[in-house]
Amino acid sequence: MKSISLFVLLSLFAVSVHAGADYKAEEKIGAGKFSDLVSYLAIGNDMLYALERNGDLHVFGRDSVNPEDTFSTGLSNTMALAVNEKGEIFVFSTATKKEEKTSGGRKYTVNTPTGVICKVFDKTGKELRTLNLDGLKSARAAQFSGDMLVVADLGQRKLVFLDPETGAVKSEVKKGLRLCCGIFDFCVGPNDTVAVANLGAFKVQQYDMNGKVVHEFGKRGKEFNDFQGCCNPVSCSYLADGRIVTVEKSPTRIKIYDADGKNAQSIDGVEELVKGCSHIPVAIDKDGNIYLAAARKGYIVKCTPKS
């Protein structure tokens, strides 16, 4: 009898650990409206912004399935954007040059990042100014944290904290970042912090504005709370209540951890969004709706709270 009771208790515990989050995968947004890869998502002006790599920016209302507005930024190779408190939209373009490499006697050509152009627009798509960012080589992700503009520079493998008016570098994070697959994502956290999806280290690491690690969680493994595959998570984002959403690829897993990085729950019903080592951009609005870009499939999956 005791062994049976223990078995039941262990079974119940396993169910609770693997319980689904109180979310459901809903409609596909923007299907058939994108002409290039959706490289980045951001929330601002109470709208969802979906940036394509070709420089087109699509604007969705909270309940809209199709874009309410689309405008061209005039840029190319655009992979990051950020919206400030005034509603200004900062769009980042990474300039590259072709270089020949040799490996194992085979020659091949790669595009090496050489610098970043940042244009600022109002919410109607009118260009306001260009921000000088001489200290960056590439921009793979960007967000505002208080009065700081934070940019993930994949070319130099560092997270850079900038003055959004002058572009001057205030501080940076470089030590401990283990990046791979051309992916470098982070999110704004509570109490003036940012959290990096340090996928090569299989961790989420939370930094203060001076670049000091204040909290981290995660490890490579096969348990549900672990991160899987060759490198994960590829992106992360905070909910308003302090819980953190992590996104894994190959296979796609969307999990919600508590503020301490424990007790993960999965969001059920999300299909396989990418194949292989690919980024899955994520954004969360003030109502807790979670948006995930299936970049190569050409749409955005919206996950909504059940209650």
> Are 259 and 274 a contacting pair, CB within 8 Å?
no
Give me the residues paired with residue 238 across strands. Answer: 244
Residue pLDDT tens, the chain, 307 long: 444 444 344 434 444 445 678 999 988 999 999 999 999 999 999 999 999 999 999 999 988 999 999 999 999 999 999 999 999 999 999 999 988 888 778 888 888 889 999 999 999 999 999 999 988 999 999 999 988 999 999 999 999 999 999 999 999 999 889 999 999 999 999 988 999 999 999 999 999 988 899 999 999 999 999 999 999 999 999 999 999 999 999 999 999 999 999 999 999 999 999 988 899 999 999 999 999 999 889 999 999 998 7
Structure-block tokens of residue 180: 């791979």
Give me the residues paired with residue 49 across strands. Answer: 42, 59
Q: What is the DSSP string of 68-94?
A: SEEEE-S-SSEEEEEE-TT--EEEEEE
Please, what are the domains in the chain?
A: 21-305 (2.120.10.30)
- Report the distance separating Cα 63 and Cα 73, nearest Å: 24
Alpha carbon separation from 243 to 94, 189, 225, 255, 306 (Å, rounded): 32, 10, 14, 10, 16
SS (H, E, C) 137-204: CCCCEEEEECCEEEEEECCCCEEEEECCCCCCEEEEECCCCCCECCECEEEEECCCEEEEEEHHHCEE
Structure-block tokens of residue 270: 């999300």
Burial 270-290 (b: 16+ CB within 10 A, else e): beebbeebbbbbbbbbeebbb
Collapsing DSSP to helix, strand or coil, 305 comes out as strand
> Are 147 and 164 a contacting pair, CB within 8 Å?
yes
- Report the distance separating Cα 118 and Cα 129, nearest Å: 9
pTM, rounded to two decimals: 0.90
Cβ contacts of residue 50 below 8 Å, gap of 6+?
Answer: 30, 34, 38, 40, 41, 57, 58, 60, 67, 293, 300
